[in-house]
Amino acid sequence: MERAKILAHIFLGMFFLASGGMAGIALGEGPDDAVSLEDVLVTATRTEQSLSSAPGSAYVVTKDEMSKRDIQSIDQAVNTLPGVYSSRGKGILDSIAAVSMRGISGQQRNLVMLNGVILNDAYSGGVPWGAYSPEDIDRIEVVEGPFSSLYGGYAMGGVINLITKLPQKREFKLKTGYGSSWDRGNALDDLRTDYVSYGDRYKDRFSLFLSYGFKTTEGYPAGLDLQGSRPPAGVTGYRSSKTPKGEPRYLIGDTGDNRWWNDSLTLRGGYDISQDSAIEFMFMRARYEYNYDYPHTYLRDGKGDPVWSYGQVREASYLSGPGGKEQDIYNISYKTRFGSLQTKLNLGISAMDDSWYTMADSSSATRFGGPGKVSNTPSKNYSGDLQFTLPVMDSHILTFGSSFRQGRADTREHKLSDWQVEDEKGAISYQSKGKDRIFALFVQDEYIILDNLTLFIGARQDWWKTYDGYINQIGSKGYPIDCSSNTDSAFSPKLAIVYNPFKEMTLKTSVGQAFRPPTVYELYRTWTAVSGITYAGNPNLKPEKTTSWDAGIEQGLWKGAKIKAVYFENYLKDLIYRKIVTDKYQELINAGRAESKGIELELEQKLYNSLKLFANFTYIDAKIKENAAKPSTEGKRMMDVPEKMFNLGCEYTEGRIMTSVIGRYVGKRYGDDENRDRLNGVYTSYDPYFVVDTKISYNLTNYSKLSFSIDNLFDRDYYSYYKTPGRQWFGELEIKF
């Protein structure tokens, strides 16, 4: 905690020093800066808005900005924005990475879309960030705060919209890269990436784009084996350690190099039917798979031979099975205009065709084989959105329409005679499944009261239903279970004001409500463990809700300089939590109430179109206020929410050379709801960290570019549950024309 305070004070000093220092630079003599066009986004209002006129806190990350960093996974592109936290423990190897905003943690509470298609899966609300190719994305629009008034469920903390772009002329791109850890075994060894794309526009009417990206790495041993019992006398090689709660443990080995591959195939097209009408389509197949090399035991007996078991410790403790996902995304959209009425129809399918993993039997499996199980949860979201935009008189822009989403998921577990061979399934041992659907109506009025004063007022009504729930743990008492259907509704209003009292000043404030319906996992995932304890979902869960407000100021200072400050508050209720009903039964219930309050500060300075400096700071006070399921958590910080974050960076371009240096600090997080995991620097802890990444690019010709990057430049050791990657280098060649 003291370290966090010291770093925060250092940052604030740098912040104000930079303000004064850059003011002197900007006011000095020199050529005028070229005027750059302001970024435009559509996510904040469903209509085109400049960043300064959009309500609330909004950001645009462009393709050019992404190219200045070593972005291997799309969520890494937003991890330097104020208020945004990307939870990623072992680089691209992390299969449960998530992005949260303003202290509202969990990917299921933060909406992610691709061209308006919901990417949060229907089972848990997660997003397979590591499966997509960052090169396919033209820009990323991020809006923070409650946006259920426009987009419905999931949008409690905010919305991230990945936007692609159709080519306007013939284009070709080829990228290939290779990198590895500075010290082998300490980061992603033998990371290789390849990407190729082709696009063209025919007869000024039809656009077509096709791409394929592939990434693979030998990984590093991120999973460690710690045991509570000490190896017997005569056995050496272990190391004494502790849990984050301070309990003694003994490090005896690891699960082997965590390997990974992913690929992404994209096909997009568009046809301009007329000057006022166009149709677009997209298909994307994104896949990833992880597995583990041979596990390592650090233990040796008196003869120097490896030891794989002792006492109650079995060889299976070293084993971790493979897994993967495959997602198909279909999208078709149609835009047209009837006089002044603009109409847009967007239809999408996000199908998680495979989401699987294997586990070895904890008592009898070995590194050579043995029994286990494989679990697979295919899920699918169907969505439709019809939007109308109509100017009314000279001062109103009315946006209204309806949305529909239907989700389904089906978990099946099968026994395996050999845990290493996931395709040879035995008898089914478990199944849970269910469906939900939402129908909604929404409306928003953009009321231009004065030339410098705009009011946004809107609301959305969602009707939610869950049905066809089924649970069966084969051979266990009390199963199968047919679950009753459930219905609920949510009204999500929002009001925002944007005021420009002076030319370079913008004042913004907003207040709104948002909700998040329970997932199929929370509703129906019920199982009885070997211990006899039943962990139950709850088909009668209600949606989680939040009431939030924020107020901010953006001020332009000198040529290319601007500052921004935002204060926000979120009041969450009906949070879903697991309650211990008896010593043999635990159930999810709507038990919690929480608050998150904080500030976001941002400073940016551009000089002579060659140098950009930026800094931002986020403080979040996120605490559980009420929890009927577990009162001991009341007053404790919400899990996986850092109290302080800041980013410092500079980008410099001179001729053919571009250089960027970015430092990121993330404060202490808790993985325990009672905040008992206070010890840092041990396996499964969530340590505060400050890392520096750098990249340099050189344009060999007008059509080719060579780049070299180093992540974690100072080789900081820290844990984010797993041991995070150490210093890593990566080189890349890009050819495009």
* Cα atoms in the 13 Å half-sphere on the side-chain side of 629: 20
Question: For residues 221, 224, 230 and 236, what is the CA-based torsion angle, rounded to 10 degrees?
Answer: 10
Cα-atom radius of gyration of the chain, to the nearest Å? Answer: 26
Q: Which of 508, 488, 505 minimizes the C-alpha distance to 497?
A: 508
Q: How many CB atoms lie within 10 A of CB 48?
A: 12
pLDDT, one tens digit per residue, over 579-598 is 999 988 999 999 989 999 99
Cβ-contact 436, 465 below 8 angstroms:
yes
Cβ-contact 175, 193 below 8 angstroms:
yes
C-alpha separations of 492 from 192, 331, 655 in Å = 46, 26, 51
pLDDT, one tens digit per residue, over 6-32 is 333 333 333 333 333 333 333 333 333
Read off φ and ψ for residue 277, nearest 5 degrees. -135, 140
Q: How many CB atoms lie within 10 A of CB 468?
A: 14
Cβ-contact 256, 319 below 8 angstroms:
no
pLDDT, one tens digit per residue, over 110-143 is 999 999 999 999 999 999 999 999 999 999 999 9
Residues of the chain with pLDDT under 50: 1-36
